[in-house]
């Protein structure tokens, strides 16, 4: 499907430092040193509701990864999916008496608008689950032929992945089996379902049910794809057997990224599927986790409708480190608005302290696992000094603005 429209990214003099990122599998920060093009797959939305600030924060995080790689001279191959068929979408459509296809189209369109407003560089490939069904069926059949999948013997036609075929299972999340069982039940798995070989075995293909959409599955029979194989199949087809970064929120560490790695690694015989599994923290509201059940979602589109500058939203979400679970409050927004106004004022000055020094500092902070609080502090200090009349570099204000734009996606 179509992505959204990108913006011109200013090029900066020189080049940045290699980007080091925290890898959930190894539990430490390691250099992401792409050889050739840098490849990244980010788990995108399930379009049954509007983009909230949590989605936005995660997309902004990986937008920075792409910006920093580009600043380092890498060609970036970035893929993002849309889970445009899954249980939550069907449940919401059913609840609201709406056609699930129309619901998905509408929310995906709104997401594109939000991403554009937030100046997120679009992925090269923006791919829906539905349009990927033939590819997914191919992968599930390959797993079947390889003895890594089995059909449940209850007449449903449901096909599961056999975790006995994944000896490295658990390396990505580093959780105990007890923790995995709890999270699997909470996050779309079905550990209590009778007939499975292992309670943690993930669904690959759901046989057709009365009243649910279904697609031809060849030897699998009619049905629809499981969630983890969707992301594994799309990434394998567009990025090859392995990639530099697989990204998403930290709610995807288990079971989603663990299972998609297990599927992909069995299909290719290569491990790891991703050289870095990178996870953004969860955004909450006023101290509570932002969730549909609590009804406390803050939508990007609502803020836009209230004439909040998307660049202030961006700065608010960058104010704390991407890996920390953090909350959105009126104060976070107010601080971001004040910062944006101050930066704009400073960018309009006729001279300021050394722009080259500022750029080197910002690049170095961001290369260190996206230390945005550190980068913002340097830009703040430059703006304060400039507004206090310090510094005589006439090229600095333009370089300041280009640095904020190219590396942080913040147009001043």
Where does this chain bind ligand 5CA (CB under 6 A)? 43-46, 54-55, 57-58, 81, 83, 231, 248-249, 251-252, 280, 282-283, 290
Task: Tell me the two tokens of residue 301.
Answer: 């589109």
- Pick from ligand 5CA, Zn ion, none: which does 140 bind, CB < 5 to 8 A by kind? none
Query: What H or E segment, with its residue span, contains residue 178?
Result: helix 177-186
Do 349 and 398 contact (CB within 8 A), yes or no?
no
Tell the smallest beta-carbon distance from residue 135 to Zn ion (Å): 15
Rounded Cα gap, residues 161 and 198, in angstroms: 9
Residue with smaller CB distance to ligand 5CA, 151 or 276: 276
Nearest one of 23, 21, 10 to 408, comparing CA atoms: 10
Nearest one of 343, 358, 289, 321 to 64, comparing CA atoms: 321
Tell the smallest beta-carbon distance from residue 49 to ligand 5CA (Å): 8
Distance of CA 142 to the CA centre of its chain: 28
Residue with smaller CB distance to ligand 5CA, 271 or 327: 327
- Pick from ligand 5CA, Zn ion, none: which does 157 bind, CB < 5 to 8 A by kind? none
Residue with smaller CB distance to ligand 5CA, 317 or 399: 317
Rounded Cα gap, residues 180 and 165, in angstroms: 17
Look at strands 76-82 and 125-128 and give their pairing. parallel
Tell the smallest beta-carbon distance from residue 40 to Zn ion (Å): 13
Task: Tell me the two tokens of residue 186.
Answer: 């909470």
Tell the smallest beta-carbon distance from residue 82 to ligand 5CA (Å): 7
Q: Where does this chain bind Zn ion (CB under 5 A)?
A: 43, 231
Residue with smaller CB distance to ligand 5CA, 88 or 138: 88
Question: Taking CB positions, which residue lies at the least distance from ligand 5CA?
Answer: 54
Tell the smallest beta-carbon distance from residue 244 to ligand 5CA (Å): 17
Residue with smaller CB distance to ligand 5CA, 123 or 248: 248
Whether residue 129 is preceded by a cis peptide bond, meaning omega within 30 degrees of 0, is no
């Amino acid at each position: 499907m179509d992505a959204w429209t990108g913006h011109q990214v200013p090029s900066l003099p020189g080049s940045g430092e290699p980007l080091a990122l925290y890898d959930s599998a190894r539990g430490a920060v390691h250099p992401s040193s792409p050889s050739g093009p840098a490849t990244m797959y980010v788990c995108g939305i399930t379009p049954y509701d509007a983009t909230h600030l949590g989605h936005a924060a995660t997309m902004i995080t990986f937008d920075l990864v792409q910006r920093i790689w580009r600043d380092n001279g890498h060609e970036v191959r970035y893929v993002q999916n849309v889970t445009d068929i899954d249980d939550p979408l069907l449940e919401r459509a059913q609840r609201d008496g709406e056609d699930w296809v129309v619901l998905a189209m509408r929310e995906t369109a709104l997401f594109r608008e939000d991403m554009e407003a937030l100046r997120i560089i679009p992925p090269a490939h923006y791919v829906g689950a539905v349009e990927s069904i033939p590819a997914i069926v191919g992968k599930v059949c390959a797993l079947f032929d390889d003895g890594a999948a089995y059909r449940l013997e209850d007449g449903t036609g449901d096909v599961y992945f056999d975790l006995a075929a994944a000896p490295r299972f658990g390396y990505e999340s580093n959780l105990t089996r007890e923790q995995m069982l709890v999270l699997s039940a909470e996050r779309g798995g079905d550990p209590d379902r009778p007939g499975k070989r292992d309670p943690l075995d993930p669904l690959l293909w759901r046989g057709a049910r009365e009243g649910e959409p279904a697609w031809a599955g060849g030897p699998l029979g009619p049905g629809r794809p499981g969630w983890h194989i969707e992301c594994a199949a799309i990434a394998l087809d567009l990025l090859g057997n392995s990639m530099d970064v697989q990204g998403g929120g930290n709610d995807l560490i288990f079971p989603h990224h663990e299972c998609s790695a297990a599927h992909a690694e069995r299909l290719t015989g290569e491990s790891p599927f991703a050289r870095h599994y990178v996870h953004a923290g969860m955004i909450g509201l006023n101290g509570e986790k932002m969730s549909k059940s609590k009804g406390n979602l803050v939508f990007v589109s609502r803020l836009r409708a209230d004439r909040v500058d998307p660049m202030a939203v961006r700065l608010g979400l960058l104010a704390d480190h991407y890996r920390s679970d953090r909350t959105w409050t009126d104060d976070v927004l107010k601080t971001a608005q004040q910062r944006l106004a101050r930066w704009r004022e400073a960018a309009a000055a006729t001279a300021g302290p050394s722009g080259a020094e500022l750029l080197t500092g910002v690049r170095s902070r961001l290369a260190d696992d996206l230390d945005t609080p550190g980068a913002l502090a340097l830009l703040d200090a430059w703006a304060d000094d400039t507004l206090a009349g310090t510094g005589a570099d006439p090229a600095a204000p333009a370089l300041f603005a280009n640095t904020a734009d190219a590396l942080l996606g913040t147009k001043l």
